[in-house]
Chain A
Amino acid sequence: MNFSEVFKQSNQLCKVSPDGKYLATCVQYRLVVRDVNTLQILQLYTCLDQVASMEWSSDSLFILCAMYKRGLVQVWSLEQPDWHCKIDEGSIGLVSSRWSPDGRHILNTTEFHLRVTVWSLCNKSVSYIKYPKACQKGMDFSADGRYMALAERRDCKDYISVFVCDDWHLLRHFETDTQDLAGVEWSPNGCVLAAWDSCLEYKMLLYSLDGRLLSTYSAYEWSLGIKSVAWSPSSQFLAIGSYDEKVRILNHITWKKLTEFEHHPTITNSKAVVFKEVEKRPVIPTEDLSIQQIAMESSLFDIQSKYEIPPLPVQVPVVKPDPDRANPKIGISAIAFSVDNRYLATKNGGFQVQSLFWHCSGDSVVLLGKDQLCLCYMATDEEK
């Protein structure tokens, strides 16, 4: 692998544009836009304060820089470097800021989640959405960008509001049967909305686009519940990762459990291939591919490392987490389906993998750790 020179950045704000042509990085209060191929600096913008969050618009024309401390959002244009836009939330403060799917509206979540302000760049109009919920994933846009689901909480009850992103018209508003709604996610086909409860209760609710409850799924009671959720790209499966170290797959016709995968610390499946990175230090990462689960442990590695395949059964070294802490580091924290629906990558336990992404071709996985980057290629066997 070839690496370019090191560029400075702050707050891990480094994003490639959606069209893949530009690379934007933030260094303190400066926004640097480079060309992806040549890495030449194309634009340089200066913000008013240290940038806390930066996001490209969906059409790669604008970049949003949010400065939470000052409650400011600045938007920069690539086409016209002179163009500027500043959104000041005022005294109400700013907690998060994001683009809408059409790239012309900015949604700011104010402090204490008092409201969501929708700013339009087209007509400078403002819309407010009250009582958004402060939860793991309270806001989700559908894949086609037409609808937005927002989790709300009023009077100690959870609600979901569905907005049309065109004009922010409230389409549906319904109550959910949850104790403490933790997140919402649209299915890739935009017809089903998955809503799940917080980890104190295992409850997954499935709503159709028009707000009807399609199904409820609960695997068990009392123990800590859902930790992560992922839809398959074809919308046929919903993978639920929970604190009991299992991934359960639901099918989209009956919304019943199709199968469940365990994450046993000892890998004995004869079809599993375990890759062990061997290096000078004794801490060893392992990977197993070619079955539908991946458990990976990142480690500190020196420059020299190689992978060897140990014979089965392999004991994956597990660090027992502190059970007395809230949100313990056990359970499935990351799930990712491959693009062709064939593979599912999951991360179990306290392994230091921050993100898990599949390549769009479906044959490689990128694992991002705290200090490492791991790229796993899957060699597909020809069906004989």
Chain B
Amino acid sequence: MGDWWTPPMMPDPGLGIREFSSVSHIDESPSRHRSPPATRASETNSKHSYSVLTAFCTEENIPQCVAYVNQEAAALGLCGVCVEARGAGPSLGAASALNLLYELLQLQRRGQRTLHDLETQQLKNNSDLEHLQHNNSRLKDQLEHTRRENSGLHEGERQLQLKIRTLQRYLKSEKEEVQKLQSIIASRATQYNHDAKRKERESAKLKERLNQLLVDKRDKRLAIEVANCVGRADGKRSLWKTSKMEARHEGEMYKALLSDYEGRHQVLLQENAELKKLLQLMKKDMVSMLSPRKTTRAHMPAEDSLEQAGSEPDDELCEGSRDPLEQMCEQAREQLANSIRLQWRRLKSHMQRLDSQVSLAASREQEEVISRREHEEAITHMKMELQQCTEFIQTQQQLLQQQLSLPCDEETAALLNDGYLLEEKERLKEEWSLFHEQKKNFEMERKNFTEAAIRLGHERKAFEEDRALWLKTQFLNMAPFVGHRRHATSESRRALTIGAQSGAKVPSSPALSCTSASHTGLSTPTSDPMTLPSTAELYRTLQLIPDSRSQGRCASNSFQSGATMTKSQLRDSCTDCSIFSVVRDGNSAS
């Protein structure tokens, strides 16, 4: 019955179920299916004290309560109660109720017991837990302790290992040394043995020889046989051995030694002088390096003293350098060395000061000294300037190169110009050629023209001849009219002159006037019949140019005559001029 019995939970205080648990300490969880009247009842009775019975069950809701109790009992696996109807109202069956009660009590007791058991159990468990925890911590400490011990032991072991290794190495080296020594001993021993054997052999030979000599007793005298004495190598005669000679030998020996020493001495002196010079130079350099700082170090009295101390050996040394003997002096050397050391120390201190200054670069009081930052800035600035200058130079170079190459362009420009000029020249040439062509054409035309004119002249001449012939014939035909003849001749003369004039003047009337004109025209140049007539004369003959002689008179006549020139007039004029033409022809013909 108890396995599915769950321990009761604390009820929700909002519903006030605690009121029911004052007697048994068992709180029933509020179930949803509780009848509303019970809740209502509980709610209404929540203000009262913990009288359960009155709150849960009243006279009115006994059956409900019973039902509920039965329900709960059934849920718990207990028998239910029954309701008996009695006089005052429904009441519970005492036996069943008591049974239920009893069973509930049993349940409760059992529950108590289990609770008790559990509590004891829990106590035990707690104590066990404590005990275990205690043990755990103890063991942990122990473990920690053992671990530390372990590491310590490891450490010790490692050190011992190292020691072992070093000892082994040492042992190895010792062994090697021992071996080496043994080998040395061995080699020495062999050498000794070898030498000893050699000596022994030699002594044996000696003994043998001695024996031989003693036995032989044949004293072979040592002797030299020379055919003739040879002169000394240097040609001088040999000298007797005297003490003077010995002294001389000694002297020579010492001389040789001395000369060698002196040579070496000179070399060393030279080297020494060079080194000294070098040191002095170094000193000077150092002094010069440090001297610009000296002026700014007015507030450093210690340095001044050092300066003074330093200047003294300088002076002394200056004196010393003049006198070479003093250079050899130990004092002078020491002084030089000391001064160098001094300068070096000063240089070092200066460098240290500079370093400290660099570290205190922010302070204003060191304006006279260029701080490192400023120095760097100056350097960067200078570098930039340098870069700029180089760039500038480069650009300049480029421009210069361009400039140098420009003449080439100018040349090309010149060439181009020349090209243009050439173009113009060629155009000019073309024009000239055109002009020449035109000239030639013109000349040709003129020639043609002159030829035509000549031809015309010839034709006119021919015409004139024909006319003259015709006039002659006419004249001959008109022979009976003699009186007229003179008149006619005068007329013809007049007509001739007129005709001539008119012929000279009328360029349009082609043959007749031309012939007359040509006659007149021809008359003038017939002195030379081979030459062509000039252009002006040609024009004059062709009446293109007005004749100056007959310009005034015949201007009016020319047109009139030209316009009204008829054959008859021509006949008349021809008769007149036939004589002339005959004469002229005769002239012209001749």
Contact = CB atoms under 8 A, between A and B. Distances in A.
Interface of A: 58-59, 62, 77, 82-93, 102-104, 111-112, 117, 119, 121-124, 126, 134, 146-147, 164, 166-167, 169, 171, 189-191, 199-200, 208-210, 222-224, 253, 323-328
A166 B249 contact: yes
Interface in B173-207: 181, 183-184, 186-188, 190-195, 202, 205-206
Contacts of B589: none
Nearest to B206: A112
Identify the interface centre among A89, A103, A122: most chain B CB within 10 Å of its CB: A122
Contact of A122 (B206, B216, B231, B241): B231
16 contacts: A58-B233, A85-B226, A102-B234, A112-B202, A112-B209, A117-B222, A122-B232, A122-B238, A124-B229, A126-B222, A147-B253, A164-B252, A189-B260, A324-B190, A326-B194, A327-B194
A126 B224 contact: yes
B227 interface: yes
Given A82-B227, A171-B253, 10 more contacts: A85-B224, A86-B224, A88-B225, A90-B221, A112-B205, A169-B245, A191-B257, A191-B261, A223-B187, A324-B190
Contacts of A111: 209
Interface in B230-246: 230-234, 238-239, 241, 245-246
A280 to B, nearest CB: 38
A325 B239 contact: no
Interface string B76-116: 00000000000000000000000000000000000000000
B379 to A, nearest CB: 34
A103 B191 contact: no
Interface string B233-273: 11000110100011001101110110011001000100000
A236 to B, nearest CB: 10
Contacts of B194: 326-327
Chain B at the A interface: SS class: helix
B186 A91 contact: no
Interface of B: 181, 183-184, 186-188, 190-195, 202, 205-206, 209, 213, 216, 218-234, 238-239, 241, 245-246, 249-250, 252-254, 256-257, 260-261, 264, 268
B246 A169 contact: yes
A91 B213 contact: yes
Nearest to B190: A326
Identify the interface centre among A87, A91, A147, A209: most chain B CB within 10 Å of its CB: A91
Contacts of B230: 62, 77, 83, 104, 121-122
B251 to A, nearest CB: 11
Contact of B181 (A104, A189, A208, A222): A222
A325 B229 CA distance: 50
A147 B253 CA distance: 9
A90 B257 contact: no
Given A166-B249, A189-B260, A199-B191, A103 B233 contact: yes
A210 B187 contact: no
B190 A325 contact: yes
B220 A88 contact: yes
Nearest to B219: A91
Contacts of B223: 87-88, 90
Contact of A91 (B218, B228, B264): B218
B178 to A, nearest CB: 13
A324 B253 contact: no
B195 to A, nearest CB: 8
A59 B257 CA distance: 27
B190 A102 contact: no
B187 A84 contact: no
Contacts of A91: 213, 216, 218-220
Given A90-B223, A112-B202, A167-B241, A210 B257 contact: yes
A104 B231 CA distance: 8
Contacts of A166: 249
B257 A85 contact: no
Identify the interface centre among B220, B230, B253: most chain A CB within 10 Å of its CB: B230
Contacts of A122: 229-232, 238
B432 to A, nearest CB: 74
Contacts of B254: 210
A327 B187 CA distance: 9
A60 to B, nearest CB: 11
A171 B246 CA distance: 8
Contacts of B231: 122
Contacts of B188: 200, 222, 224
Contacts of A253: 264, 268
B282 to A, nearest CB: 24
Contacts of A83: 227-228, 230
A64 to B, nearest CB: 13
Nearest to A325: B190
Contacts of B245: 167, 169
B445 to A, nearest CB: 92
